[in-house]
Amino acid sequence: MPQMGVSVAEGTVVEWRKQRGDWIEADETICEISTDKIDTEVPSPAAGRLVEILVQVGVTVEVGTTLARIATDARPGEAHDVEGARPPVAPADGTSDGARPSPGARDPAPPSPPRPAPARAPSAAPAPARRGSPARRYSPVVQRIADEHDVDLDEVEGTGREGRVRKQDVMGYVEARGGVARPAGASPTEPTLHIESPYRPGAGASLHGPYTPPEGRPLSRMRQTIGQHMKRSQETAATCTTWIEVDVSRVELARKELGITALPLIARCAIGALIEFPLLNAWLEGDNHTVHEQVNLGIAVSLGEDGLIVPVVRGAQDLSPEGLSRRIRDLARRARARQLSPDDVRGATFTLTNPGQFGSMMATPVISQPQVAILDVEAIIKRPVVVTDQFGEDAIAIRPMVILGLSWDHRALDGAVAARFLASIKKRVEGYEA
């Protein structure tokens, strides 16, 4: 179990990508693991043959535990115990002319049907020679077309220089074969022509009988982890929530000019306020109170129904709104592609959550421990508000407004500081200058 980031102590095997007996290249993914921070792929430390899997799917082990053994003295393509146990297989058709005439159990050629070989494996098996010609090499486009149409390039007559197979040769071969060589329904990508109707006779009957709920399943690992963290926070912190209403006219103008969303601009204002009120940029662990100078901004990223993850923009105080926007987008993209490293989600000193994109107006977010506050940015909605002009005259104007909600830990600070912090954000947002 590799050390995936400094704080990770244990991990669970989620899936084995390779099975016993498979050949694996160095850095090819051997299995997937899940830690309390993140799900990730494990690259193979060496090339060789997977001879033993020691930790089965679903089992959690400590960092440093051996997951599997790889025989590094094995060679790709050579017989091994798993293949050797299979019954002897006939050699590939027509390729053995001139070869040793004893296609038996010890034949070094790969068995048929063809096994998917690793793309870059240095092939130790004899290269298929055609009519005594030297080993053929194919251009990238020819290989791609052959792969897409499942063509054995040994079968294709080459018309290029020295019998080279050209693009038009392989395309001509595919066209000539079209419909004849390929048995009906053989293509796995063929879409079904009809979608089965969901209607079932008699389904309505269940409305009258006793209700039979569908079978329950254990909560996903991610949901369990989120649940534990959130529950622990509610049991630990003395959480209060304070709201403030902010006019975002200037931010809206600036973000349109920059071609980015409002979030990084509001984040920039919040970072300014955190520098002014460092009590909000802090950790409280028991009685140990750490106030940070650097702002490591956690950004909650929804992963749909699976859950959410909070990647961290480190050193956010040094970034412009455009820089923040780029970092947030990059982290969100990698989060959704499940490509975050454990260190991408560690060390947040303050968290921003932004569920307002769906139109919600207020929330009481839960603080991510051991931080002492979390800022919730809700939907930007145009509202009539009272504005005062330069002569002190009041008027009603239509302005884009947002409600910012701050959940804060009463153990670490008091309501006055929280309110002043929010007022500082409001001042920065309403007076925003690019």
Phi, psi of 260 (to 5 degrees): -130, 180
Dig out the tokens for 77 from the structure: 């393509």
Name the residue nearer to other proteins (CB basis): 139 or 317: 139
Dig out the tokens for 221 from the structure: 């690992």
Stretch that binds other proteins, among 31-39, 103-111, 139-147, 407-415 (CB under 8 A): 139-147
Name the residue nearer to other proteins (CB basis): 167 or 231: 167
Long-range Cβ pairs for the range 235-240 (8 Å, 24+): 236/369, 237/284, 237/367, 237/369, 237/372, 237/409, 237/410, 237/411, 238/409, 238/410, 238/411, 239/364, 239/366, 239/367, 239/407, 239/408, 239/409, 239/410, 240/407, 240/408, 240/410, 240/415, 240/418
Cα–Cα distance between 212 and 100 in angstroms, integer? Answer: 66
Q: Examine residue 149 and tell whether it contacts other proteins (CB under 8 A).
A: no
Stretch that binds other proteins, among 39-47, 136-144, 228-236, 372-380 (CB under 8 A): 136-144
Q: Examine residue 136 and tell whether it contacts other proteins (CB under 8 A).
A: no
CA 276, 353, 328, 257 dihedral sign is negative
- Residues 93-122 within binding reach of other proteins (CB under 8 A): none
Name the residue nearer to other proteins (CB basis): 71 or 141: 141
| Annotation says 410 is catalytic | yes
Q: Examine residue 142 and tell whether it contacts other proteins (CB under 8 A).
A: yes
- Residues 51-90 within binding reach of other proteins (CB under 8 A): none
Name the residue nearer to other proteins (CB basis): 142 or 375: 142
At which residue do the structure tokens 């679903």 appear? 58
Cα–Cα distance between 290 and 281 in angstroms, integer? Answer: 9
Burial of 310-347, coded b for 16+ CB within 10 Å and e otherwise, reads bbbbbebbebebeebbebbeebbebbeeeebebbbbbe
Binding mask 161-180 for other proteins (x = CB under 8 A): x--x-xx-------------
| Annotation says 80 is catalytic | no
Task: State in angstroms the smallest separation of the CB of 116 from other proteins.
Answer: 19
> Among 150, 318, 330, 410, which one carries the catalytic annotation?
410
Name the residue nearer to other proteins (CB basis): 145 or 295: 145
Question: Total residues contacting other proteins (rule CB under 8 A)?
Answer: 10
Stretch that binds other proteins, among 79-87, 94-102, 140-148, 260-268 (CB under 8 A): 140-148
Residues classed as catalytic = 410, 414
Residues that bind other proteins (CB under 8 A): 139-142, 144, 160-161, 164, 166-167
